[in-house]
Amino acid sequence: MRTVSPFPIESQTSPRDKAFLLAAQRLIRDAAPAYDYLEIGSFLGGSLAPFLADPACRSILSIDERGRTLADERGARFDYAGVSTQSMLDRLHQAGLPTEKLITHDGPIDTLAPPDRPFDLAFIDGEHTDQACFRDFLWALPLMKDDSAILFHDSSLVYKAVGLITLLLRKQDRPFALLKNRNSEMSAIFLGGLGQCELGRYFEAGEDCADFYAASEIAMLEHNIRNRVRIGPGAERLVSFTIEPPRAEKGYY
Ligand SMILES: C[S@@+](CC[C@H](N)C(=O)[O-])C[C@H]1O[C@@H](n2cnc3c(N)ncnc32)[C@H](O)[C@@H]1O
């Protein structure tokens, strides 16, 4: 018997990221027999595929501001021009995926007309800057059900946004749980009752958040040094360097 992959279309996610996405899908399916999915940043449609194929997924809203060269916390810009909503739809059809339940919005989330129903699950994977990720979360949050989950890809790039989001939720007195998947770029905020449910049935134990933030800070420094710092007369690339912990200095005299 031929097994059909839940990801028949190329996705910019690793095998562990994909497994996390599928585990979140199982959790949501158990919590709500018919659920609605929101995705910010769909590119070729790779991460939409398992939701398009799932009969329990009732509706999908895909938000993608197409044709941009994206700013990125790594200190480089990434060109996503050349992939349109139509080319994504063509690819989905070629893979035999039904698209009747899919609505697309070609623009940022802050230009979206209010959708007609709240979402159970959101996946934020658009522009990888803290500011854009925080914006995407701020606009997505009121669209979510009280008991819902918001996933983040490239968490190590937008770790400051993730940290600010947890602060905001704490200040709003909203019950939530944060889970950073080990050895993967996925993290998730489980809102309301979902944060209290037995997440261990679906996910392995998460990474310590302090370790995640600390490792991400070093990784972002390294990326920015490699991408932006040049030395010497011919402005050669910095090949070898170490990053020290922040030095303590006297703050006043
Ligand atoms: C990393 S890709 C998404 C990858 C996709 N989720 C996957 O699994 O293959 C980032 C996408 O974000 C889109 N994008 C850029 N700016 C955006 C914005 N302001 N809001 C939503 N999406 C945006 C890009 O056009 C691109 O398609």
**Mean pLDDT split into 10-residue runs, the chain, 253 residues:** 85 98 98 96 98 98 97 98 97 97 98 96 98 98 98 98 98 98 98 96 97 97 96 86 94 95
Rounded distance, CA 249 to CA 253, Å? Answer: 11
Which residue type occupies 173?
D
Ligand 1 touching residue 68 (CB < 6 A): yes
Q: How far is the CA of 6 from the centre of ligand 1 (A)?
A: 20
Domain boundaries, the chain: 15-214
Residue 166 φ/ψ region, left for φ over 0, alpha for ψ in the -120 to 50 degree band, beta for the rest:
alpha
Q: Check residue 3 and give its pLDDT.
A: 67
Instruction: Using the Cα atoms of residue 30, residue 1, residue 89 and residue 45 in order, give the sign of their dihedral.
Output: positive
Question: Which residues, 6 or more positions from 63, have their beta carbon under 8 angstroms from its beta carbon?
Answer: 38, 39, 40, 41, 42, 104, 105, 107, 108, 109, 112, 126
Q: How far is the CA of 174 from the centre of ligand 1 (A)?
A: 28
Backbone angles phi, psi at 114, to 5 degrees: -55, 125
Q: Which fold does the domain 15-214 belong to in CATH?
A: Rossmann fold (3.40.50)
Ligand 1 touching residue 32 (CB < 6 A): no
Rounded distance, CA 204 to CA 206, Å? Answer: 6
Q: Mutate which of 39, 91, 127, 184 to test ligand 1's pocket (most atoms within 8 Å of Cβ)?
A: 127
Q: Check residue 87 and give its pLDDT.
A: 97
Backbone angles phi, psi at 189, to 5 degrees: -110, 120
Question: Which residues, 6 or more positions from 189, have their beta carbon under 8 angstroms from its beta carbon?
Answer: 149, 150, 152, 165, 166, 169, 176, 177, 178
Q: How far is the CA of 93 from the centre of ligand 1 (A)?
A: 20
Half-sphere exposure of residue 16: CA atoms within 13 angstroms, side-chain side? 12
Q: Check residue 237 and give its pLDDT.
A: 85
Helix, strand, coil percentages for the chain (3-state, nearest 5):
35, 20, 45
- Ligand 1 atom with the shortest distance to the CA of 154: 1
Q: Check residue 238 and give its pLDDT.
A: 83
Q: Check residue 169 and give its pLDDT.
A: 98
